[in-house]
Structure 1
Amino acid sequence: MEDQEDLDVTYYLRSKKRKVDDGEEATCSYTVDNHFKRKNPIMLMPLEILQNVFKFITYHELSEKVRKVNRKFKLAAEDLLNKSFKTLSKKLQNLTVTVLKAMECTEDDMEIKCLCRLLNLLDIINFQQTVIMATIWRYVYNEFYRTHRSCMYGGLILDLYDLILYKFTMNPYQIYGPAVVKDYALPEEIKHVIHLTKNFCIHFDKVSEEPIKQPLSISGCKIVDLLDCATHAAKNVVFERTTGNTFSAKYCYYLQNAWFVAFGIPPDKEMSLKQKQRMMHMRIRRIILAHTEIFMQQHHYEREMLVRPNPIIKKPSVVVYTGYGDVHDTFFCYGAMNDAAYLQKFHLQEEQNDEDGEDEFHNDGIIPNPVQLEEQNEFLLIPHLGLDIDVRIDCPLAYAPHKFIKENEELIRNEEKSSNGMFNLSIEFNFPGAYYPRLPTTYNYQKRISTRQY
Structure 2
Amino acid sequence: MNVNKRPKIPIRKCDQYQELEKDPEKTSLTERSCHGYALDTLPPEVLEMIFRLLPLHDVATSVRLVSRHCSMVAAAVLNGTFLTAYTKLESMIKRNESVMKSAKTDTELLACSKALNALQLIKAQYKMLRAVTWRYTHPPIKQQKFPRLCFYAGSLLDNLNELLSRISKYHPSIVGPRAPESSISPFTTICKRFMNFFEKISERRVNRSALISGCKIVDILDCLVEGRQVLFFKVSTNKRNTGRIVSMKLRYTMKRAWFTCLDVFRKIEENSWRDEQRFMYLRLRRLVGSVNEHIFENLHYEHQLLLQIPLTLPLRPPPASTYSGYGEYGGRFFYYGNMNKYAYETKFVHTVNTANLTVETEQQVQRPPAFDLVIEIELKCTPDLAPLAARSILKSDEFKTHEMRTCRSQQLHLRMNVVCPASLANRLPGNFVWELRSPRRIFTVEDV
Q: TM-score, normalised by structure 1?
A: 0.80
Question: Is the 2:118–2:181 Cα contact (8 Å) retained in structure 1?
Answer: no
Letter in 2 for 1:175: I
Question: Is the 1:139–1:150 Cα contact (8 Å) retained in structure 2?
Answer: yes
Question: In 2, distance between residues paired with 1:354 and 1:99?
Answer: 44
Question: Is the 1:128–1:194 Cα contact (8 Å) retained in structure 2?
Answer: yes
Q: Which position in structure 1 is the counterpart of 2:385?
A: 399
Change in 2 beyond 3 A, CA 1:381/1:266 = farther
* Pairwise CA distance, 1:111: 2.1
Change in 2 beyond 3 A, CA 1:134/1:408 = same
Question: In 2, distance between residues paired with 1:185 and 1:209?
Answer: 29
* 1:37-186 aligned within 5 A: 40-144=37-141, 146=143, 148=146, 149-170=148-169, 172-177=171-176, 181-183=177-179, 186=182
Change in 2 beyond 3 A, CA 1:415/1:433 = same
Change in 2 beyond 3 A, CA 1:145/1:80 = closer
Q: Which position in structure 1 is the counterpart of 2:324?
A: 322
Question: In 1, distance between residues paired with 2:203 and 2:181?
Answer: 35
Change in 2 beyond 3 A, CA 1:382/1:217 = farther
Question: In 2, distance between residues paired with 1:313 and 1:215?
Answer: 51
* Pairwise CA distance, 1:415: 3.7
Question: In 2, distance between residues paired with 1:133 and 1:184?
Answer: 22
Q: Which position in structure 1 is the counterpart of 2:307?
A: 307
* Pairwise CA distance, 1:316: 1.2
* Pairwise CA distance, 1:437: 1.6
* Pairwise CA distance, 1:106: 1.6
* 1:366-385 aligned within 5 A: 383-385=369-371
Letter in 2 for 1:60: H
Change in 2 beyond 3 A, CA 1:81/1:414 = closer
* Pairwise CA distance, 1:129: 0.8
* 1:5-24 aligned within 5 A: none
Q: Which position in structure 2 is the counterpart of 1:218?
A: 212
Q: Which position in structure 2 is the counterpart of 1:257?
A: 256
* Pairwise CA distance, 1:382: 8.5
Cα shift readout 1:361-417 (whole Å, capped 9, x = no counterpart): xxxxxxxxxxxxxxxxxxx87835210001110111211110001232425335444
Question: Is the 1:397–1:418 Cα contact (8 Å) retained in structure 2?
Answer: no
Q: Which position in structure 1 is the counterpart of 2:287?
A: 287
CA RMSD, 1 decimal: 2.4
Question: In 2, distance between residues paired with 1:279 and 1:450?
Answer: 19
Select the residue among 230, 242, 258 that pairs with 1:237: 230
Letter in 2 for 1:123: Q
* Pairwise CA distance, 1:56: 2.4
Letter in 2 for 1:224: V
Question: Is the 2:231–2:250 Cα contact (8 Å) retained in structure 1?
Answer: yes
**1:426 and 2:415 aligned:** yes
* Pairwise CA distance, 1:224: 0.2
* Pairwise CA distance, 1:448: 0.8
Q: Which position in structure 2 is the counterpart of 1:278?
A: 278
Question: In 2, distance between residues paired with 1:122 and 1:304?
Answer: 16
Cα shift readout 1:290-316 (whole Å, capped 9, x = no counterpart): 110111111111222223455752211
* Pairwise CA distance, 1:166: 1.8
For the residue of structure 1 that corresponds to 2:224, the secondary structure is coil
Question: Is the 1:259–1:336 Cα contact (8 Å) retained in structure 2?
Answer: yes
* Pairwise CA distance, 1:75: 1.1
* Pairwise CA distance, 1:99: 0.9
Question: Is the 2:375–2:418 Cα contact (8 Å) retained in structure 1?
Answer: yes
Question: Is the 1:398–1:418 Cα contact (8 Å) retained in structure 2?
Answer: no
Letter in 2 for 1:209: E
Which structure would you say has the larger Rg? 1
**Unpaired runs of at least 5, structure 2:** 1-30, 238-243, 356-365, 441-448
Question: In 2, distance between residues paired with 1:394 and 1:382?
Answer: 38
Q: Which position in structure 2 is the counterpart of 1:435?
A: 424
Change in 2 beyond 3 A, CA 1:171/1:295 = closer
Question: In 1, distance between residues paired with 2:158 and 2:330?
Answer: 39
**Unpaired runs of at least 5, structure 1:** 1-34, 356-379
Question: Is the 2:383–2:399 Cα contact (8 Å) retained in structure 1?
Answer: no
**1:199 and 2:193 aligned:** yes
Question: In 2, distance between residues paired with 1:171 and 1:305?
Answer: 21
- How many residue pairs are counted as aligned between the two chains? 385
Change in 2 beyond 3 A, CA 1:222/1:185 = closer
* Pairwise CA distance, 1:45: 1.5
Q: Which position in structure 1 is the counterpart of 2:22?
A: none
Q: Which position in structure 1 is the counterpart of 2:347?
A: 345
Question: In 2, distance between residues paired with 1:354 and 1:334?
Answer: 36
Cα shift readout 1:21-52 (whole Å, capped 9, x = no counterpart): xxxxxxxxxxxxxx9x9775333221111111
Letter in 2 for 1:304: Q
For the residue of structure 1 that corresponds to 2:337, the secondary structure is strand
Question: In 2, distance between residues paired with 1:339 and 1:382?
Answer: 12
Letter in 1 for 2:171: P
Q: Which position in structure 1 is the counterpart of 2:334?
A: 332
Question: In 2, distance between residues paired with 1:443 and 1:382?
Answer: 24
Which stretches of structure 1, 4 residues or longer, exceed 4 Å deviation after superposition? Answer: 37-40, 309-312
Change in 2 beyond 3 A, CA 1:411/1:306 = farther
* Pairwise CA distance, 1:143: 2.9
Question: Is the 1:412–1:418 Cα contact (8 Å) retained in structure 2?
Answer: no
* Pairwise CA distance, 1:215: 4.1
* Pairwise CA distance, 1:424: 0.7
Cα shift readout 1:311-337 (whole Å, capped 9, x = no counterpart): 752211111110001112111000011
